[in-house]
Structure formats: structure tokens, C-alpha cells
Amino acid sequence: MPGVQRTFYSSHFIWLSLLALFLIYLFSSLRVVSDITQFMPDDHRDKNVQLLLNELQQGSTARLLIVSIKGADTEKLADISRELKTKLTNTNAYSLVHNGQQTLSSNEFISGQYKELYQYRYLLSKNSALSKQELTSSLQQRLSELRAGINFFKETLSTDPQNHFLEYLLKLTQRANTTTHHGVWFDKHKTSALLLVELNLKQFDLDKQQYLIEEINETISDISNKHALNNKLQVDITGSASIAIKTRSAIQSTSKWLSGIALTLMFILFWWSYRSLHLFIIAMLPLATAIICALAVTNFLFNQVHGIIIAFGITLLGVCLDYPAHLFSHHAKDKNPQHTILSIWPTLRLGVITTALAYLAMLGTGFSGLSQLSIFAISGLITALFVTRWIIPYWLTSNDIQPNHSYLITLSRIQFSAKQKVYSGILVIVACSLMLSYNYNSIWSKDISDLSPVPEQAKKLDKTLRHAVAAPDVNHVFMLKNNNSELLLQQTEELKGKLQSLQERGIVKNIYAVTDFIPSKKIQILNQKQLPQRKILRSNLTAAASDLPFKTDFFNPFIDDVIKSKTLEPLDIETVLAMPLGKQLQQDLFFRNNEWVSIVRLSGIKNDVALQQWLENRTDILPYYLNLKQATSALMSDYQKTALFRLLLGAMIIFIILLIFRPKIRAVFILAPVLLAVLLSISIQVLLGTSLTLFHTLALLLIIGIGLDYSLFFDRKWVSNKDYLQRLHGIFIGATSTLITFGILSFSDIPVLSALGQTVSIGVLACFVLTFIFSKSNRNKSEYNI
């Protein structure tokens, strides 16, 4: 057999070389991304939504963490919050740590980080408070503070007796939580101390983020030990970075336990079916090769692989276990493995090619995620097919597989008449129609977060803590863009002015815009113009201080600074962003795609309906309004429609191919049970109260692939009852292994994976039953004497 040997060496050489090549490539270049925007369409009609989503996922907002500490009395918690702030601030790893503590000091204005900005204080905010009355009120306030012993800003008393600059900076800390207890932020129930921490990271580096979050936890643990709390504290951390890490670890742990349990059960299944460890090991070869190859090809073509695709794609490829199962079940001691594979090869090949082509329909949708998944599945399926065809038979020893289990014999005796097949088809259609029409409005999910692989608990925690710190609502924002930064600031000021009415009507609590901190040059010049002449200011000040104990010439530096401010050049965006304050404004103002973008946010929205009604009549404001929730719902809908359309297209492709290779009626009988199984699977999901997402649609494609495989094998001609039992055995093992994998997946914490698990489990069961019912009824070997 020199020819066989030559083929053995060449096939194994190619297989092992490619495997080594792919592994080297993956170790050096695999880039896993985990944010949902990577899964968004490349060319969505609403660029603004995409820009905002990108900013939320990758911008400064994404680096922000909310830390909640509870489990001790409030005084201790406040101490811990302060100590944590001090410790974190002392390292460079965190760019901002806010806990409500007032730590501004006049030294920072005179010689510290705000020195430069301090000179511009009379340009940056309104100066209507320089009249005699206002100055009197300010000076009396300072006197009252001196009586109370609060003279923390005595160094700037002579230059800024109104605390003009302090008031300006305080607006920054007022953007978050309002419940202050023992001098630090607490939730409204005063049980948890809250902090906002911004990670000092330029890149979205998950490992670095994980390290920094662990460092926060360790620091809190050290402080807790110091206070003899012995880890009694409960620390919760949320934020994009924290969620990404929780998701990654959830996926990792799910993968671990899932693969552990699945492997054990699979081993039991293979042992029960084939009584061979050897077969179990070689059955894993196509799957393992398929995963490696799929990862490498996807990463090569897209320069990255989405985390969801890895989790989802690998489970999709679980179907590859069916291929060696078919081979093992069809193999007999007296047969050459090469002959066995050749005997099932046309059916196996047709099944894989049609499924791969159905996945091809998911390409070119403009949704990068779908394209990645499509490539992942196609490359994986074809690799598994090749390995099953050219590698596995060489390792298939002379095991005599006797598929003579009594269940198979019982199953093989069950037959369905044509009438029964039609009735069962009608029954499925009617039942599904009823289920779907009854739950028509809740069939499709409208919430983009349903697409996210984030564990449910992490989502809940994030929502609670965001609410607790009163973080500005990300669902209602106004986005303005302009090439010219000055014009953008002017537009922002104009918009904010128009929005004030919402605040006055009590519909929203606060409106935040970057112009609160960097007014346009136009406004800065206006502020300059408001500044009085030296003579007038001196006269106002003298009058204001006349009944107060302050020395008359003490405030001369203040007069000098005001007069000097009149000649200062207004500040521009770039200068302010380069200052320390700039770091805190990045979520409101950023430069993307050669444009300046300004985001105006609302917080404390008391009435959503009133807000929508108010907006409806404001055509001058509406174009800037972005309702992220609505927009992403529309996006989801687009996504689902596209995926559903492509799914139907895939089914059409399969049908056309079947028509080429099989007679019309048989093509119908091959595809009908598969489609009915798909229908049954989604109907049961809807009946269980699950709103279908894109992933369900993709899972349906998987069901089609698996079902088609069963249907084609059932449709094969057989030469003997033993032959029939062998294929029934192969299909049964394939269905059971798929049920085991996806059944376990149903219990995953990750919504996407559990959805996939449930859908496919039901689908595969339905496929097995329906393809069995629709298979050829006459099992008399004389009919087919091939």
C-alpha cells in the first residue's frame, strides 16, 4: 500500500504544518476585543449613535469606575473612602479619584495645577457679581467664614475675595452624587461609601485594567485590615473596564466548567457507544483543528476576533463532533476505514458545504460581527470536514463497532406514513403559529444590552451604582459637531441656553456641557466686557467694605487682577484641554474623525414623557438629540432584520443546492423537517418569554446546519438493516453530543450563551425527532440494493 502510505504522510504533513503555522500565528497576533461597538455595523446610517457608542466604550467614560464600599459603620466607611482616595491619588495609575471630599486649596491656585487657569478666572465665568451689592454680600460671607474659622482660602482672599475661581472648580465635583455624609459621598440610604475612579490608561488594555482593579481591591483590603474589619467590607466595582473584565472571566470560567463537564459527558457517551477511549480522542481532532483554524483565519482577515465570536463560534463548531461520529458509526471491523469514509463522504460533504454556504449568506451585511462569525464558522466547518476525511480514517483502528443497542432496534422499527408526516408537519406549523401570534409583540428584543455578553448580575450592579452616583444619563444626550472648535462652543452655549427651559420646568435636574468650563471666545470676550473699569471697581469695593473690618488697600491685588483680565487673550479649547482640568472634560468634548464633538448631558430626568413632548416641538433642538436607547433599538431591529433575511437566504441556498443534487420531492422532504424544527425552536423560546436577539437567529442557522446533516444522512440509501442501524447510531450520537454541549450551555451566566444553549438544545431535539419522522419510511433493504 505505498499509495496509501504516501497519502498518509502528505496529508499529515500538510495538517501538522498548517496547525503549527496557525498556532504560531495565533500566539503572536491574536487580538481579542470585547466591546460591543466592535460588533456594531461598519456603516450604520446614524453615525452619531456609533460615535457616541464608541466614546462610551472606548473614550474617557470607559475608563471610569464606580467603587462602592459597605459593611461597616458610616464613620469607618468615610475614613476608608478618604484613605483610599489618598492612596490611589498617590499613584500615577489613576488620573482622577473623586469621593466628594473637598480637597481644593488656595495653594493649587497660586502655585499648583490650576495656576495658569486661575489668571483667566474672570473670563471663564460670568462677572455680574462685581457691583457694590454683590461685593458687599461676598465680603460679608468671607467675614462670616473668618468668624467660623474657615479661612482655608486666605491666600487668595486678596486676589479673589468672591471665591470666583473656587465656585468655578466646584462645579466639577457637583456633577456626581449629591448625598454627602461625614464629608464623603454615600448612596442615598447612607450604607455605601461611593468613589469615582478614572484609570490612567491611554489604550483599552484589558489586562492592565484588570491589574488596576485588583490593585483597588487590595488597597481596600489593606485599609480594612488596618481598621480591624478583617475583610468584612463588601466592595463592588463597576464601569466599562470592570464589566469587560467580569465578562471575560465569566466567559473563561464558563468555558472551563462547560468544557470540563462537556468533555466528561462526551467521554461517557463515546464509551457507552463505542467502548473506546481511542475513538474519543481522535473524535476531538477535527474539532480542535477547526477551532484553531477558524480563529487564525478570522484574526487574519479582520485583524481581531471579537470575544463573543470566540465563545459563540467555538460552541457552533461543536457540531464538528458529528462528523467523526458518523464515520465511527458506519465503520465495521471487516471494512477498510478509507472505504467507510468514502461511502459517507458525498453525504457528509453535501451537508458541510450547504451549511458553509448558508453561513456565506451572513457575509457582506455591513455588520462586522456577522461577517466574523460567518468566516469563523465556514473555515471551522471545512477544516473539520477535511480532517475527518483525510486524517481520521488513518487513526481508525479495527474496532468493531456494533450499533446493536436495543434502543436503536426499537427506533428503527418506528415508521411513519406519508399522511402522518403531513399531519405532524401541519401540527407543528399550527402550534408554532399560535405560540408566535400570541406573543407577537415580544418576539424580538429591542434592548441592545441583550446582545451584550455581560453577566446579568454585572449589568444590575452597574445600573444601581450609576444611579447611586447620579451619573449623567447616557440615554439622553445632545451631540454637536463642528470642524471649528470656537463655532462648536458657541453652538453648545446656544443649545444649553435653549435647554434651560427643561430645568426651569423641573423636567430635568441638571444640564451639563463643556461650556460650563470652557466658554466660547465670544462669551469670554463678553465676560471681559462686563468687567468694570478700575475706578468703578475701586469705588464699589470701598463702598462694600466700608462697614467691614477689612483694610481698604488689602483688596488692591483683586482690582489689579480684574483690570489685567480685561487685556487677556481668550483661552481656546486646545489650551484648556492641555491643562490638568482638560482631563476632566474629555467626556464632554473630544476630537474624532477630524471634527470636534461636544456632548450635552442631562441628569435627574424626572419625566421621560414630558421630555419627549417638549422635544417634539423643538425643531431647532431635535436634530442634536440622541436617544441612545431608541437609536440602539432601531439598530437592533436593523441587525435582526438583516440576520433574518440572510438566514432565509441561507435556507434558499441550501434548498437550491439540494435541488441540484437531489430530486425535487426529496429535497423538500430533506429541508422541511429542518425548517419545522427551526420554527418549533423559536416558538418555544418565545413561549418561555425570551425575546429573540441576533444570536438566536444565528443559532437557527446552526440548527439548520445540524438538522440538514441528520436529514441528509437519514435520506441516504442503505444496503442493509445494519447499515441503517449504523447511520441511526451516528445521528443519535451526534444529536446526543450536541444536546449535551448546548444543554450545559443553557445554564451559563452569560445571556448570549445561555440563549444559544436553549435555542440549539430545543432545535436539535426537534431536528432529530422531525428528521426521523420525515425520513424514508420503508426500511426494506431490497428497495435499495446499492
Q: Which residues bind other proteins (CB under 8 A)?
A: 75, 78-79, 82, 101-103, 105, 143-144, 146-150, 152, 157-158, 180, 182-184, 549-552, 554
CB of 92 to other proteins, least distance (A): 21
CB of 150 to other proteins, least distance (A): 6
CB of 227 to other proteins, least distance (A): 13
Instruction: Calculate the CA 470 to chain-centre distance.
Output: 22
CB of 149 to other proteins, least distance (A): 7
Rounded to whole angstroms, the Cα distance separating 94 from 114 reads 19
**DSSP 8-state secondary structure symbol assigned to residue 331:** -
CB of 143 to other proteins, least distance (A): 7
Per the listing, cell 467626556 goes with: 587
CB of 617 to other proteins, least distance (A): 39
485-504 and 608-616 helices, crossing angle to 10° = 120
Q: What is the identity of the amino acid at 78? A: A
Angle value at C-alpha 640, between 635 and 643, nearest 5 degrees: 125
CB of 372 to other proteins, least distance (A): 51
CB of 147 to other proteins, least distance (A): 5
Nearest to 657 by CA among 326, 351, 323: 351
CB of 225 to other proteins, least distance (A): 20
Rounded to whole angstroms, the Cα distance separating 646 from 653 reads 10
Rounded to whole angstroms, the Cα distance separating 755 from 742 reads 10
State the cell numbers at 738. Answer: 450536541
CB of 148 to other proteins, least distance (A): 5
- CB atoms < 10 A from the CB of 211, how many? 12
- Using only the alpha carbons of the chain, give its radius of gyration: 34
DSSP notation for 664-686 = HHHHHHHHHHHHHHHHHHHHHHH
Q: What is the identity of the amino acid at 72? A: A
Q: Report the relative pairing of strands 180-181 and 184-185 from DSSP bridges.
A: antiparallel
Nearest to 337 by CA among 389, 271, 402: 389
- Give the nearer residue to other proteins in terms of CB position, either 75 or 214: 75
- Give the nearer residue to other proteins in terms of CB position, either 151 or 217: 151
State the cell numbers at 383. Answer: 477544516
- Give the nearer residue to other proteins in terms of CB position, either 139 or 262: 139
- Give the nearer residue to other proteins in terms of CB position, either 140 or 449: 140
Coil vs helix vs strand at 597? strand
Per the CB < 8 A criterion, the answer to whether 52 and 44 are in contact is no
Instruction: Calculate the CA 344 to chain-centre distance.
Output: 42
Nearest to 780 by CA among 723, 707, 732: 723
